[in-house]
Amino acid sequence: MKTILYATDYSENSVSALKFAHILAKKFNAKLIIMHVFEIPITLASTVTLTYLKKEKKHYVKNRKMLKDFFAQYIGEPVKNLNLNFVVDEENSVTNSLLEKAIKLNVDLICVGAKGTSAVKEFLLGNTAISLLKKSPCTLMIVPQRDENTQLNKMIYATDFESADVFAINKLAKIAKKFDAQIRVVHITTGKKYEIEAKMEWFKENVRAKVNYAKIEFDLIFSENILEDLLWYLENNNAGIVAMLERKNSTFYEKHFQLDKVKQMAKRSTVPLISFNIGGL
């Protein structure tokens, strides 16, 4: 992991994501790009007037300073000691701006807070979160506001026994190694016991043959309420991260929980979610 892109709206809800991005950047010795997207209300007839251009420049200068102050307030580490880049962008769509920068700057991971200050925009929730899950060209991490003492010694991967899951687990293992963390691979299902147990054995062999990481365990749970039992599983195992595979036409959560329950998961869980984009594996 060489480049991490973190986006903020300066809200307290995005602080946990900043700290997470900072920790990952230090662990991987990666470049950390700290970004804010702002929007100037268009009240003038033409967006190319001198008045507008002056206003735009003023907002760029103001937000760049706010970004540096935000970082200094919550991280406190001297900027000169870190590989940092502060980016300010003017765009009506936070999602579009993030995606454009992620591609342009060859980002390996996008890290965002689970929600921001605006209930109307639902910053990085709702439509924006779904768009990022579907469109992100790289790994995506959504971090809820959480207890600062949460440890990252256990990471959960929710699997559907897809071949691409093995590659995603391999990517998760690279993160886990930095924290000497255990990975627990879980499959929660309503399926028939005999058939699912056979699939689990096949999947275990596949993972162990292709993922060079010893600290991986497997769990199989039969349940009629997958969302509730996944939330229970995360809490019961003191999970630091939950990871999933994002597919082109569906995600683990889309398939099993439907889209409205993705929001429920993000709002209710205290665990950061990592989405591995199948196109980037």
**DSSP conformation class of 80:** G
Give yes or no on whether 3-143 and 154-280 have one common fold.
yes
Burial of 213 from C-beta contacts in 10 A (0-12 / 13-18 / 19+): middle
Residue 93: helix, strand or coil by DSSP? coil
Instruction: Say how far apart CA 159 and CA 246 lie, in whole Å.
Output: 11
CA distance 280 to 115: 25
pLDDT tier for residue 120 given thresholds of 50, 70 and 90: very low
Average pLDDT score over residue span 187-199: 88
Query: Whole-angstrom Cα distance, residue 125 to residue 118?
Result: 10
Cβ atoms 108, 54 nearer than 8 A = no
Nearest to 99 by CA among 52, 56, 137: 137
Q: State the Cα–Cα distance between residues 35 and 9, nearest whole angstrom.
A: 9
* Residue 32 confidence (pLDDT): 96
Give how far Cα 160 sits from Cα of 120, 177, 252, Å.
Answer: 34, 23, 7
* Tokens (6 digits) for 49: 């007037």
Which of 36-40, 80-84, 259-263, 273-277 has the largest mean confidence?
A: 273-277
Structure confidence at residue 122 as a pLDDT band (50, 70, 90): very low
- Domain coordinates in residue numbering, the chain: 3-143, 154-280
| 154-280 placed in CATH 3.40.50.620 | yes
Q: Which residues share a beta bridge with 110?
A: 5, 140
Q: Which pLDDT band holds residue 121 (cuts at 50, 70, 90)?
A: very low
What tokens appear for 42 in the block?
Answer: 């268009």
Alpha helices for the chain (secondary structure H): 15-28, 50-74, 94-104, 126-135, 163-179, 193-210, 226-236, 252-257, 259-268
Indicate if the pLDDT at residue 263 is higher than 90: no
Q: Which fold has domain 3-143?
A: Rossmann fold (3.40.50)
Q: If pLDDT is split at 50, 70 and 90, which confidence band does 55 have?
A: low
